[in-house]
Structure 1
């Protein structure tokens, strides 16, 4: 019989991480460990208040299906009995890891994927005053891809201008975190295009993004808070050019693989993102990030420390995870 344990861990952030919805100095993650016949599989998730999740509720949801997991619940059986979200992600990834360890086959082979290669990740600059963001950009100017958190205020253009001054050669992504109004999108995009911005994430609140239908925007738009699982992709294809795939939103690697395939069929390009978390959460995301147009898996780079056997970074280049970590 399997044994399952659920733990809550706190990992300090290097400084603070600030977006339009608030600031935090530590990342609280939920980890799932499943043991069977001497083998151990692990998964990690970040409950996210924006989606109505709390650490307490996510832990409770995992414990609710603990007996079924102990009795041998499979990944395919997991999805109908557990709601999509962070908790299901941790369980799903732990089951993938357990199978890989017990069979002696890496997850990428189990999933019929190409062997993972090193990836260049974006590096996130927290929301701040323009001068502070300029200095942060200078400190990160050698990184090829920077992602800026914006605030939905009149200072956003000044923030982007300051970052461009600090990092003149970096490709820039801006993340509005649902902070703009419909009338802002085209004027803001026209201004941002002057600074060579390559992508705008989630400009409008998810419930208001129908206003983007038919819009001809000078910068591609990417759905984040609007993009979760398979059922919404057809609608998104008429509003955005990219979707940001995050395992905590899809509820695990299993559905994320299907989401990527479905999005490609609808001519949506792929960004793979993450919450602020350790390398244990990044390792499965790296598998779906192979071939993605943009990769944003910098969670461990934002932490003061990472877990043992963490992913090795050479600047913004992230190397494939070791089997001792996951997969």
Structure 2
């Protein structure tokens, strides 16, 4: 099958400044990929991440290099040898799955044998702020079942206590984005366990995973920056009780499914996570959510304006509406994608 590819950047203004331990941003710059056989169109979105040496320019260059080779691509498995894990492969993988749904008349859930997920509860993320500022953020989503709190090494317990006071019934996830040291983690664990924290993401630098072997944590420790693809899982099982699967790290849904199976085989809990992007970026990952313990796909809530026909959110409950922008069979959305294709 002969396929054509187009890749371009789009930017989404954020609803508010988003701050984590390694910096702040006010917009999400994403890569949109479209593929077509001349009659049908598929699309996908990814977020290049500087932490992994990516930029919009580098990802576009990767896609430009692989475009002439698409004639030899008969399945998304072929991408595993054409592109490394990362944002470029993720966007192309998603576009190919979407196109396959159109060509076969079957949903991506059916094509992948994933359980259909009608709805789930996603974490809602609070960016780093003063304790009062984070309390105000928590009050705005009060009674959310699951809240994710971005933290650096400063005022950890003060910020956490402020959020817990604002929403005492919520389960809390801490995301330090590699910003802590082992001694700080050890000192904080007893108090965090009493403040509703159920999971801590990547407290130490990825290069320091081995230091977790000496820490007996009452809270689930989850690998994020350390976890990319299925071959990472066996090593991480020595240090963590959970892993965060993000499609921009695995390089797409195809490898994400493999990573999910590997995590199960090693008795690890799983979080499905995301970078900051639109519903198009969340859509492939959503297919994994019926089989994981934690969902963190609130990217569309962080942008000021999502794409049309994206996910619906209500007090943390995430629902895929019909019609939907990705992964379903039929002609829905094809005219809009044709117009987008022609405009690029």
TM-score interval, normalised by the smaller of the two chains: over 0.9
SS in 1 for 2:134: helix
Cα separation, 2, equivalents of 1:320 and 1:201: 26
1:40-59 alignment, distance < 5 Å: 40-59=41-60
* Gaps in structure 1 of 5+ consecutive residues: none
Contact between 1:311 and 1:322, CA under 8 Å: does it hold in 2?
no
1:208-219 alignment, distance < 5 Å: 208-219=208-219
Q: Deviations over 1:81-133 (max 9, x none)?
A: 21110110001111111101111100011011122220100000000111110
Residue 83 of structure 1 pairs with residue 84 of structure 2: yes
Cα separation, 1, equivalents of 2:87 and 2:267: 27
1:94-109 alignment, distance < 5 Å: 94-109=95-110
How far 1:292 sits from its partner (Å)? Answer: 1.0
When the two structures are superposed, what TM-score results if normalisation uses the length of structure 1? 0.97
Q: Deviations over 1:63-95 (max 9, x none)?
A: 100011245453121111211101100011111
Structure 1 residues 72-81 or 260-269, which shifts more? Answer: 72-81
Contact between 2:310 and 2:324, CA under 8 Å: does it hold in 1?
no
Structure 1 residues 114-123 or 64-73, which shifts more? Answer: 64-73
Q: Deviations over 1:185-243 (max 9, x none)?
A: 22111111121211111010000111011421111100000100012111100100000
SS in 1 for 2:291: coil
Contact between 2:310 and 2:320, CA under 8 Å: does it hold in 1?
no
In structure 2, what is the equivalent of residue 145 of structure 1? 146
In structure 1, what is the equivalent of residue 185 of structure 2? 185
Contact between 1:149 and 1:175, CA under 8 Å: does it hold in 2?
yes
Matched pairs, number? 326
In structure 2, what is the equivalent of residue 280 of structure 1? 280
Q: Deviations over 1:130-188 (max 9, x none)?
A: 111011111111311100000112x0110000111111111111111111111112211
Cα separation, 1, equivalents of 2:321 and 2:51: 29
In structure 2, what is the equivalent of residue 245 of structure 1? 245
Relative contact order, higher structure (CA 8 A, sep 6+): 2
* Gaps in structure 2 of 5+ consecutive residues: 328-344
In structure 1, what is the equivalent of residue 158 of structure 2? 158
Structure 1 stretches (4+) deviating beyond 2 angstroms?
Answer: 70-74, 320-324
Cα separation, 2, equivalents of 1:31 and 1:124: 24
In structure 2, what is the equivalent of residue 5 of structure 1? 6
C-alpha RMSD of matched pairs (Å): 1.2
SS in 1 for 2:24: strand
